Amino acid sequence: MISKSYFSISTVIVLMAMLTSVSFAQDVVTLEPYNVNQQFLVDQIAADTAANDGVIPEGRIYELIGGEVYLNTSILFIEDYETLHVRSSNDEKAIIYQYPTGSGDNPNNPPGNLFISRGGDIILDGLAVTGYYEPGDDLSEEEFDELYTVQGGLLRTNQEGASIIVTNSIFSNVAGQILRTEGSTVKIHFEDVVFANLGALSTSNFGAGKGIDLREASVDSLIMINNTFVNYQDRPIRHYNFGNPEAGTGAIGYGLFDHNTFVNGMGFHGVLSLGTVGDKIEITNNLFVDAFASGEDPTDDTRTAEWANTGEQYDNGNNRMAWIFANPNETTEWVIENNYFAVTAEGQNFLDSYEELSVGEPLSIHIRERLGDSADDAFTQIDDPGLTNVPDLMIGLMTYYIEVAEKTKDTPNDYWNPATEDMDRRPITYYVNDFDASYSTSSAAYTGATDGFPVGDLNWFPAIKEDWVSTSSEIIAGDIPTTISLKQNYPNPFNPATTIQYDLATASNVQIDVFDMLGRKVATLVNNDFQQAGTYRVNFDASNLSSGIYIYMLKAGDISQTKRMTLIK
C-alpha cells in the first residue's frame, strides 16, 4: 500500500538525528565479461581498488552483466573495514567459472576460493558460480580432466565479525563446501539460492560436499529461506566440533530454515547438523525428497562417527543417526512444523537392496523430546510429489560407497569412475536454464505450508511466491514474549524483499509503516490490526522503491519503536 502521508516535524527531527552518522551512496562499477577484454574477474576488482590503496571504496557495487560469462583465477580478500557487493545487471544470472590459474604448484587448478572475508561483509545477488571450468570437459566422450581440478570452496571467512548475505544466486561444483566460516559471524543469510553438486571424489572424500560449513564457529543469526539443495554428498549444513563433539561449538543464536527444498542428497553425515544452538531454531515449511538417500545404517562406523554430539547410541555402541540433530540443551526453543518428506521409488529400491539400510528418523531423540506432543506432526511423509526436472538420484555413487569403498571415506584414487560412480553432475547452465523443482498440484505438499502455500522453495511457483511475499503478518508458534520488541529486518541490505519480525507481550492494535529519509510514508505493512500476544513476521516488497535507507516503525498501543533498513538495487 503506497501512501503520501508524512511524519510529524518532531519525528523527522528525531529520525534525522538518528541517521546523521549514516551515509548512503550507490557507486556502480561494471565489470566486463571475459570475451570483451580477456580480463579475469578478481583482476578487474583489484584494478579498480588500486587507486584507493587497494581498498574497496565505500558504497562501491560491482555489477556483472547478466547472461554473460566471467572467468576467475585468483582469490579476493575482504578486510574488516570493507564491504564487497557484487550483483548481476539484470534478471539473468552472471556466470562465473573458477578457471585454471596457470601458475604456482598446481598450475592446472582453479583458485581454492572465490571470496574470502577477513572480517568484511559480503553481499552477492544474481550470480551463478561454479568451482571449475566445466566447458573444458566433454561428458559425451567421458572426459573429466577439469573435474579433477575442482577445489574446496567458493566463499570463506577467516576472521570474526563478517556478515554474508546472498540472494537470487546459484552455486555449484565444490569438493568441500560453498561457504566455510573459520571465525564467528554476525549474520549468514541465503535466500532464493540453489546449492548444487556438493562434493567430488575426484579431489576429496565422502565426508565433504556441504552447503554451509560453520566448523565450530558461532553465528548470531543463520537465515535460510526459499533455497534449494540438490546433489549434495554430505550435509547441507555442518556445525560440528570433530575434536570434542560433546563440548559443542559456538552457538547458532537464532536459526530459521523456512520454505527450503532438499532433493537428491546422499546425506553422508545427516542433513542439518546444527551443533550448539542458542535461543531459538525454526524449521518450517520445508520439502525433503530423497534428502537422506543413503539412509540410516546402524552398522556403519564411518558415517555414524559424526553424530557423536547427541549422546544417543544404538545397542551396538554406534552413534544414532538422524537427519536433523544438535548438541542437547534444555533452553533452546524449537519450532518445527509443516515439513514434508518423500522417498522416490528409485530411492526406496536402493534402500531395499541392503538389509541394514532404512529411511531413518528426521529428528534426534532430544529434539523430539523438546517438541513434546508436537513432535509427531513436525514431519509428514507423502508420496513422491513428482519434481519436474531434477537430476537423477546418485545411485552409482551410493553403491560405490558400499560395494567398492566398503563404507570408508575413500580418499581420491585411480579406480573411481566419474562416468558411472558419481552423482548426476549437471553443468551450471542446466541450473540456470532448465532445473525445475516444482511439483504436482495434487501433492499434499502443495497446500501443506503455513497459510496453505506450497511446501519447499517457492521460487518454483513464481506466481504463488508473489502472493506469499505480499501476505500480511503471520504469527509464529512459540512462547508468549515478555516485552514489545521490533527486530532488525532480514536480509539487510535487501533487494527487493525483506522480512520484519516483532514481538507483542499483550494484545494490541498494531501499525507498521515504512518511511523514506524525508519522513514520507511509502508503505503500510500492518494497518491498525488487532493482534494477540505473540511473535509475528511480515514481508515487505520494495520493488517499486528506489535504493536508499528507509525507516520502519512499529506502533503497538502506546509504544513506538523504529529501525532502519537499506534497499540496494
- Specify the 3-state DSSP secondary structure of 144: coil
Q: In what order do the strands lie in the sheet with 559-567?
A: 521-531, 508-515, 548-556, 559-567
- Specify the 3-state DSSP secondary structure of 112: coil
* 495-511 pLDDT, tens digit each: 888 999 999 998 888 99
Residues 277 and 138 in one domain: yes
Residues 226 and 131 in one domain: yes
Please give the full DSSP string across 230-285, using - where no structure is assigned. EEESS-SEE---SSSGGG--S-EEEEEEES-EEEEE--TT-SEE--SEEEEEEEES
Instruction: At 491, list the grid cell.
Output: 536480509
Give the span between the Cα atoms of 554 and 488, in whole angstroms: 12
Q: Is residue 442 part of a domain?
A: no
The arithmetic mean of pLDDT across residues 507-521, rounded, is 90
Q: Note the maximum CA span of the chain.
A: 75
Residues 139 and 40 in one domain: yes
pLDDT mean across residues, the chain: 92
Q: Is residue 449 part of a domain?
A: no
Residues 425 and 556 in one domain: no
* 125-134 pLDDT, tens digit each: 999 999 999 9
Give residue for cell 516503525: 553
Q: Is residue 448 part of a domain?
A: no
**Residue ranges making up the domain that contains 498:** 1-26+473-569
Number of domains comprising the chain: 2
Give the span between the Cα atoms of 167 and 420, in whole angstroms: 34
Given this model, what pLDDT does residue 451 score? Answer: 87
Q: In what order do the strands lie in the sheet with 497-504?
A: 474-476, 534-541, 497-504, 485-486
Instruction: Residue 528: give its domain's CATH number.
Output: 2.60.40.1930
Residues 308 and 166 in one domain: yes
Q: Is residue 374 part of a domain?
A: yes
Residues 370 and 271 in one domain: yes
Strands 548-556 and 508-515: antiparallel
Residues 47 and 82 in one domain: yes
Residues 8 and 64 in one domain: no
Q: Which of 408, 433, 458 is the last residue of a domain?
A: 433
Q: Which of 413, 433, 453 is the last residue of a domain?
A: 433
Which of the four pLDDT bands, split at 50, 70 and 90, describes residue 2? very low
- Specify the 3-state DSSP secondary structure of 162: strand
Which of the four pLDDT bands, split at 50, 70 and 90, describes residue 139? confident
Residues 495 and 427 in one domain: no
Q: Is residue 214 part of a domain?
A: yes
Q: Is residue 445 part of a domain?
A: no
* 376-410 pLDDT, tens digit each: 999 999 999 999 999 999 999 999 999 999 999 99
Residues 19 and 48 in one domain: no
Determine how many CB atoms are found less than 10 A away from the CB of residue 127: 24
Residues 111 and 203 in one domain: yes
With a cut of 60, say whether residue 92 has pLDDT above it.
yes
What are the backbone dihedrals phi and psi of residue 51, each rounded to the nearest 5 degrees, phi first?
Answer: -75, -10
What are the backbone dihedrals phi and psi of residue 144, each rounded to the nearest 5 degrees, phi first?
Answer: -130, 30
Which residues are registered as beta bridge partners of 193? 169
Q: Which of 433, 452, 481 is the last residue of a domain?
A: 433
Q: Is residue 314 part of a domain?
A: yes
Residues 165 and 252 in one domain: yes
Q: Is residue 467 part of a domain?
A: no
* 303-356 pLDDT, tens digit each: 999 999 999 999 999 999 999 999 999 999 999 999 999 999 999 999 999 999
* 264-314 pLDDT, tens digit each: 999 999 999 999 999 999 999 999 999 999 999 999 999 999 999 999 999
